[in-house]
Structure 1
Amino acid sequence: MGQGNSTTVGPPLPEELALRLTNVFASKCFSPFELYCFKQTFKSLAEHQSDEVRYWPEAAFIKFLELPEVSGSGAALYRLCSYVGAFPFPSHAPAVLTGEALLRIVCLMTGRYMKVLHGDKEVWRRELWRACAVFEPEVSTAAAKNTDPAEEMNGGTATLSGDQDATVEASTAQSKKQEEDGGDEDELAFHTFELIDALEVYKQGEKVNVQHGSIPTESFLELLQLLLLIAPLGEAENISLYTTQLDERRLESLRAASKCILASFGVERNSGIGYKAFDTVVTNTLPHLFDSFGPLFEHFLFPKDFDVHKSKASTPEDVASSSTSEALNALTASHAGQAHIPAPEPLVPVQGDILDLNLLSQLSFIFSDKNIFHCLHPLYLGHSHGYSMGSFEKSVFHWHAPSILLVSGTLISPSTKQSHARAFLDELPHRRLSSSVNTASPLRSAEISPAPPAQDTQRIIYGAYIPVPWEATHKSTFGTDKTTLFQLSPVHDVFPASSVNQHYSYFNKPASLYSGLGFGSPLPAYSAMTASQQSNSTRRSSITNYSASDTAYGSGSFSESSFSGPSSPGLTRRSSLIGDEYVPLGPVSLHIDDALEFGVFTHISSTGASFQPSKLPVTARSGNGTDWQDRFEIDAIEVWGIGDANVAEEQRRAWLWEAKEAERRKTISLGMGDIEADRELLKMAGLIKDEGRSGGSM
């Protein structure tokens, strides 16, 4: 008696757990007003399946976010979101974008999940990599969905794909390193199952082995183009401001910037982007790459065409409290006002030779300060102000706020016959180091010219972030540990300041110990120089530049037979030499000569540098990828200030005061009451005769 058939309750279905997670996100991460707006937004574009399930197709997703279709970026983002919508069950991807899935996507992409889940940006980057990665070669995401999880968990029996055979050694070493770093421990998924009280499901469930996947190059390139486009996007800002008017020139520049970023992952020698390379590059050089996802997906919570009166009459059960109604009225009024607001000021106020909107977005991936988009002021543009240290000093030194220096140029061939370039090369140490640039890049195969670029015509862009005002450095360098060196083209890289040495920035006009400007090199001690070196340094600092007409051997008064280096009497050139020694370049340094004609970036992976060495994979650069020196002829230099209107006004006043002082010094003060002093001054100038001089014989 009392006995009955016992039933075993199985674990909850993935659909039940996903719904449970959605409810937690809805109650803990969103306000009632935001949820109401989200529901109205979803209903406005939702379509029906045969089983009455409402969902968003790809076209509706792209239409609402106003994503451009020309670059394929909208489709790339939709694929990413279809994976995120299946979280925390990756085998269920791609997910149909139902209301529940879309709410989870918004919560994760905006970072609101941090209110209930533990984990920082590093944990979320891991999930983003998985959302973009393919775990079986040449198999679609839909086919990957049907893969047996047990096979993916069998990491010991898995083999690499055929198209990765060429990099077996690198992949094996990378896999071992990943195992040392913790393998496939998924912190975000663990805390998610803990949150919904389903740890047993996590322990027995699927786990994706990151060692067996990679992001397809073309897919990630499309996503990079979108991220560059929406990088300036602010809170509740209209997306179409940045995604419309994409002419062919803008698209070409967009693709070029995207390829430079893509090259930093070492894709030229690999078929895709592995997790280790992805995490290392994004962490060290692109820490703010995905920041624009936040304001982009916030648009789901604040629809543009929201009608407060219609919402109150339609669904009474969804009407929020009085405070919500007030917020709703304020939001509606703000949207009504935005319709009459004129277009914002251009993000790049003046067209320069280097900086454009795409490079500005690329810079925003490095620095967290979003003032870079709205408080940018052109301080020095070489093509407008003239290429001289004096013009540079006059334009930049009165800016009392952070600034960014950009320099672009073309690599100098070691066999160049240009006399100016040869003289500069002979001043430099480490001349045996090769350039960091690959002479033939697969990423440039789609360009108009089918021929690989020659090394002496490869354009490169280096730069520096200077957090303090510029100053002349006669005895010591200036700058703080926030000073940063970076490269934007043809590879994206960042070199943060080091605490080992503090030779951050210098600016030396002739006649200094060695003249020029740069970052990362120490200033020589004048007391340590011999008397001969001191005399030689002073003599060379006073030598003027050779004429622009003497551009190559055999032209002008120079010939190849008469050339004997920078100290040759037949080729005098103002230089940065100290006596007969080379320019003292730091292990990681950027140096520009005092004529603003040539530059050199040196990278030696050794201790004692003022800037940290590159963290990029060795496959991202030519040669061994560790030591290199890029010697280039400058075609443009720009300095952009970052500051508000008050800083700009302070600089304008300083310039005005200097102009008045210059005029005052030009004027001779006569008629101030001292007649005898005025007469003596005019006599000295020869304007009146000295009547006291008779000029007679002795």
Structure 2
Amino acid sequence: MGQSQSAEPSREVPVEQLSHELALRFASKCYSHLEIAHYKDNFKTLADHQEDLEYWKEDTLCRFLALPEPLKAGPVIYQMCTYLGAFPFPALAPCILTREAMLKIVTIMTGRYKKVLKRGDQDKAKLLFRSLAVFDRKASVSSPKEKPDMDALVRDQLPDDMMKEREVQEGMQSHASGFAIDEPANDDEDEDDDDLALAALDALDAIEVFKQDQRTDRKIHHAMIPADNLKKLIMFLLLIAGLEPLTPLGSYGDKMDSEKLQALNVSADATVAAFDPDAHNNGVRYANFVKTVATAIPELFDPLSNLFEHFLFSKNINLNKHRDTPEPIITIEPKPSPIYRNPEDDSYSIFTDTLLSQMSMSLKLFNPSGSLLNIFASGARFNRLYSSSSDGTSLSSFSRQVMSWQSGTLLLISGTLNDTPEPSKTITLGAYMPEKWHDPSSGSGSRPPPSYEGPKPCLFQLQPRQAVFAANPYNRTTPWSYFSNKTGIALGCVIPQQSRTNAAPLAPVLGPVGLLIDRDMSTATFQHDGQAGTGAFVTDPGLETAQTHQPTTAQRKKVEFDIDSLEVWGISFPEQGAGEDELTKQKKRLAWEEAEAARRRGVNFGGDKDGARALLEMAGLVGDKAGTRSGGSV
């Protein structure tokens, strides 16, 4: 079927029929017969009925997905579903969540539509924006008295032959309760159903129809996502970031306490800030939404895939069950946290499960096979190597714990901004180094060779705003990381050529995007300046725009802060490595070093303790003169 086909025959086909054909195509091409059987059983078990119509209400959807009530994300997700269920005909939204509508929703959320449709994630981001957006809105949140008349909204937007289906839901809410939806102000910009139907019928490339309908594209720029609604959704996505298709959904809401809720709230605020909500109406525009999802938070909506995969597993269908045999009780516990801590270690740590979820929306890790995977899907485990809270602020301690680790690491640093009257004074930065730190005695740091094609590191910011600074693929001179006992820790900094005649080492110079930690590990300086040229890391487009238009203290191009905590976590892959994992090897290396140090301390001087001490004093190793003499060489 090509574009030369006349549009007239397609106009005779009702859009409901085209939507039905698309659902059938999804069912046959994107799922196995067993998955469809599971889906039908799940839907039918919980469906409400009115005459011949089966449908789901909002509370049914929230109950099936086990949405935690404190997060208040149910209305937002329901709004998304009532829009996506009408795909590819936005004029039919909000739609009733029938079996076919829910199947289209599951297909889009899980990404299985790619088996049928040609377009990819860019158009999906546009579709998700539409599902969350409101048009010509006058308020972010409406009170119950301000709710629109649902009957009038339905009469205005749905064809007559769909009215009967909509009327069976008495008291049905529009999109979602709790936020405002105003009718379109420009009637001449309503979507053209005929053009959309023709595009859907022609090759079923349903996402592409949004580009063919120019009036719809113009209208999207009059829409925005209320920042409060986006925050509720992001808090839920942070909670289920490590969710798997077979993990019980309710298990993630069981441990919802005030501390967890506060952590989700802080991370969600930083994530929403990356979208640069409009200061006047507190809404996120389409351009900012697409730019942020494409650059700073590309994995934001990934948890929705595993969430909606749960529709394809029914507890009522068990192929292993025999007749007259009681149903076995199968319990699947959530995977333990990838953040490994010694059970006896109760010291403070800035690295939490919520912070890991926030990072998973921006970062991917290289596993031993060389694949770049989502943090949770990679099978990585994080082992604490160094913490300033428990190991002190000594560079020698940092060197001993970190330099001996033979694989990738994650550095996290949290501090308090200096000289700022703003309520949010905390800044949290991090760095992912996919390879080991180099020996500081080499003086070169971790620098990419001219023909380097391996995994590349990145810097990132988690507070007060989420941002990612990827490695510059064209950099061949500036080291990604550098460590020196004399000058401190440098990431993305220029290392001056050390003079042989000058005894004092020259301090590293901040690159366009760089982090410099001083030698006493008390203060750090972070720079993000796109006008300073190119360096080891590239700038974040969203943060660069914010620095130009609304530079707060935390968004200045160069900020200095007092370090509250600095941690380095070693990354290992125990499920994929052969033999001993890196953590076991690290423990053996450190144990050998301790044993060797003890052996040297226990040198036998023949029982003459006074003579041994006199010898050590002469060497300048003990006593009042210790540290003032060179002590010779061994």
Distance change in 2, residues 1:521/1:478 (3 Å): same
Q: Write the mapping of 1:544-559 to structure 2, written as runs, cut at 5 A.
A: none
Q: Which of 183, 197, 202 is residue 194 of structure 1 equivalent to? A: 202
CA RMSD of aligned residues (A): 3.7
Provide the rounded CA distance (Å) in 1 between the counterparts of 2:63 and 2:359. Answer: 28
Which residue of structure 2 aligns with residue 400 of structure 1?
A: 406
1:362 maps to which residue? Answer: 358
Gaps of 5+ in 1: 1-6, 150-183, 314-328, 415-438, 441-452, 539-577, 672-677, 688-698
User: Within 5 Å, which residues of 2 pair with 1:205-216?
Assistant: 207-208=216-217, 209-216=219-226
Are the equivalent residues in 2 in contact too, given 1:518–1:590 (CA < 8 A)?
Answer: yes
2:432 alignment counterpart: 465
Q: Please tell me the residue identity of whatever aligns with 1:407.
A: I
What's the counterpart of residue 311 of structure 2?
A: 300
**Residues 255-654 of structure 1 aligned to structure 2 (within 5 Å):** 255-267=265-277, 269-271=279-281, 272-308=283-319, 336=328, 338-339=330-331, 344-350=335-341, 352-368=348-364, 369-371=373-375, 375-413=381-419, 440=422, 453=423, 458-473=425-440, 474-478=442-446, 482-502=456-476, 503-511=478-486, 515-527=487-499, 531=501, 534-535=502-503, 537=504, 578=506, 584-606=509-531, 607-616=533-542, 620-621=546-547, 625=551, 628-645=557-574, 646-654=581-589
CA contact (8 A) 2:119 2:205 kept: no
CA 1:100–1:638 in structure 2 vs 1: closer, same or farther (change >3 Å)? Answer: same
Provide, for residues 470-528 of structure 1, a one-character-per-residue CA deviation record: whole Å limited to 9, x for no partner.
123342120556211111011111110113434243343333xxx1102110111014x
Matched, 1:72 2:75: no
Matches of 1:686 and 1:72 in 2, distance apart? 69
Single out whichever of 399-408 and 37-46 deviates more from structure 2: 399-408
Distance 1:278 1:638, change over 3 A: same
Higher strand share: 2
- The amino acid that maps onto 2:435 is V
TM-score, normalization by structure 1: 0.69
Relative distance call for 1:343 and 1:106 in structure 2 (3 A) is closer
- Distance in 1 (CA, whole Å) between partners of 2:120 and 2:21 is 23
Name 2:235's counterpart in structure 1.
Answer: 225
The alpha-carbon deviation at position 592 of structure 1 amounts to 0.6
Instruction: State the 1:669 CA deviation.
Output: 5.5
Instruction: Tell me the TM-score normalized by structure 2.
Output: 0.75
Instruction: Rate the CA distance shift 1:265–1:79 in 2: closer, same or farther, 3 A.
Output: same
- Corresponding position of 1:432: none
Aligned to 2:106: 106
* CA gap 1:465/1:27 in 2 versus in 1, 3 angstroms: same
Give the match's secondary structure for 1:70: helix
Tell me, what secondary structure is at the counterpart of 1:80?
Answer: helix
Change (3 A) 1:10 1:597: closer
Aligned amino acid, residue 616 of structure 1: G
Cα 1:343–1:521, aligned 2, differ >3 Å: closer, same or farther?
closer
What's 2:17 paired with?
16
Q: 2:39 corresponds to which residue?
A: 38
Q: Tell me how far apart the structure 2 counterparts of residues 146 and 471 of structure 1 sit (CA, whole Å).
A: 68
Q: Is the 8 A contact 2:118 2:205 kept in 1?
A: no
DSSP 3-state at the match of 2:216: coil
CA distance in 1: counterparts of 2:547 and 2:154, whole angstroms: 36
Change (3 A) 1:227 1:204: closer
- CA distance 1:206–1:304, change in 2 (3 Å): farther
Quickly say closer, same or farther: Cα 1:643–1:200, change in 2 above 3 A: closer
Contact 1:17 1:196 in 2 (8 A): no
Q: Deviations over 1:375-398 (max 9, x none)?
A: 121121221111111111222222
CA deviation string 1:623-674 (max 9, x = no partner): 6558611100001111122212311111111111111221222232679xxx
- The question of whether the paired residues in 2 share the 8 Å contact of 1:500 and 1:608 is answered with no
Distance 1:144 1:278, change over 3 A: farther
Larger Cα-atom Rg: 1
- Residue type of the alignment partner of 1:39: K
Q: Whole-Å Cα distance in 1 between the matches of residues 349 and 201 of structure 2? A: 52
Deviations 1:63-92 (A, max 9, x none): 111111111112211111111111001111
**Take 1:229 and 1:54, find their aligned partners in 2: how far apart are those partners?**
31
1:191 Cα offset (Å): 6.8
> How high is the sequence identity, in percent, across the aligned residues?
32
> Whose RCO is larger (CA < 8 A, sep 6+)?
1
Quote the Cα distance in structure 2 between the aligned partners of 1:360 and 1:609.
27
Deviation at 1:345, TM superposition (A): 2.7
Aligned position for 1:554: none
From the superposition, tell whether residues 111 and 520 of structure 1 become closer, same or farther in structure 2 (CA, over 3 Å).
same
Give 1:348 shift: 3.4
Q: In the superposition, relative to structure 1, how do residues 311 and 640 fare at CA in structure 2: closer, same or farther (>3 Å)?
A: same
Relative to structure 1, the CA distance from residue 10 to residue 268 in structure 2 (aligned partners, 3 Å threshold; closer, same or farther) is closer
| Structure 1 residues 151-166: aligned runs within 5 Å | none
Asked if 1 retains the 8 angstrom alpha-carbon contact of 2:396 and 2:485, the reply is no
Deviates more, 1:32-41 or 1:239-248: 239-248
Asked if the contact 1:267/1:619 (under 8 Å) is kept, the reply is no
Query: Paired residue for 1:157?
Result: none
Instruction: Say which is worse superposed, 648-657 or 269-278, in terms of deviation.
Output: 269-278
Maintained 8 Å contact 2:385/2:569: yes
2:182 counterpart residue number: none
